[in-house]
Amino acid sequence: MLLLAGLGNPGGRYARHRHNIGFLAADAIHGRHGFDPWRNRFSANIAEGRMGSGKCLLMKPMTFMNNSGQAIGEAMRFYKLEPDDVVVIHDELDLPPGKLRVKSGGGVAGHNGLRSTAAHIGPEFRRVRIGIGHPGNKNLVHRYVLHDFARDEQDWIVPMLDAIADNAGLLASGEDSTFMNRVHLATASQDDEPANETGK
C-alpha cells in the first residue's frame, strides 16, 4: 500500500495559499482516480482507492502544517507501512514556480511539515517537491507561503495539478523518475531541459 499525503493547513482561509499546494494536489488525485469519499481518521481527511495495481491511502492531515507528521505516523503504524511506502507532496521554496522534483530521504530545508513528518516516521520517506519560488528575502517567507497564489500563477498551477493527477499511478508503482519526467513533459516550455534525475 502507498500512503500519499498532501500537506497543507485546514480551513477555507488557507485553501488557496502557496503552502497548501499539497492539499490541492491531493484533491486533484482524488478526483481523477475515483477514490472513496473523504472521511475523518488519523486526525486527517483520508480516502481509500487504487492506483495502478495497488491500494493507496490518500491523506490530507488536519493537524495544521506544523504537526503533519502526527497524522502520517498514526496511519503508517496502523497499516504497518515502512517510510519508503510514504509519499509526501509539499511546496518547495528552493524550486522555481511550476517545477517539480521527486526525492527520497534527506533534510527538511526549514519546512515545518517535513520536519514534523521526519520527527514522527524518520527522514527516509519520499517527497514530491512542487516549486513555488522564493520571495528573495527570508524575512518575507512566512507571509509569502501563507498568502494566496497570484492570479497569473494559475497559468502553471492548473497544468501542474492535472499532470500530477494524470501520472500519480507511477508513484504507486515506485516509478518516481518516470513520474517526474512525465509531469515535466506535460508542463514544460520548449526552452526547458528534461528533469531526468530523481532528487535534483
Enclosing domain of residue 82: 2-187
Q: What is the pLDDT of residue 14?
A: 93
Q: Is residue 198 part of a domain?
A: no
Q: What is the mean pLDDT of the chain?
A: 91
Which residue of the set 17, 19, 30, 111 is catalytic? 19
Q: Is residue 108 part of a domain?
A: yes
- The number of folded domains in the chain is 1
Q: Is residue 113 part of a domain?
A: yes
Catalytic residue flag (residue 19): yes
Percent of the chain predicted with pLDDT > 70: 94
Amino acid at 38: W
Q: Please report, for the domain that includes residue 109, its CATH number.
A: 3.40.50.1470
Cβ-contact 125, 4 below 8 angstroms: no
Q: Is residue 90 part of a domain?
A: yes
Q: Is residue 192 part of a domain?
A: no
For cell 508503482, name the residue: 173
Q: What is the pLDDT of residues 118-138, one digit of tens each?
A: 999 999 999 999 999 999 888
Residue 159 phi/psi, 5-degree rounding, is: -60, -35
Grid coordinates standing for 159? 497544468
Q: What is the pLDDT of residue 193?
A: 54
Residue 117 reports pLDDT greater than 80: yes
Confidence of residue 190 (pLDDT cuts 50, 70, 90): very low
Q: Is residue 52 part of a domain?
A: yes
For cell 472521511, name the residue: 39
Q: What is the pLDDT of residues 14-71, one digit of tens each?
A: 999 999 999 999 999 999 998 999 999 999 999 999 987 789 999 999 999 999 999 9
Q: Quick one: 74 exposed, middle or buried, by C-beta within 10 A (0-12, 13-18, 19+)? A: middle
Residue 90 reports pLDDT greater than 70: yes
Q: Is residue 178 part of a domain?
A: yes
Cα–Cα distance for residue pair 178/200, rounded to 1 Å: 14
Read off the pLDDT of each residue in 166-177 and give the average, rounded to a whole number: 93
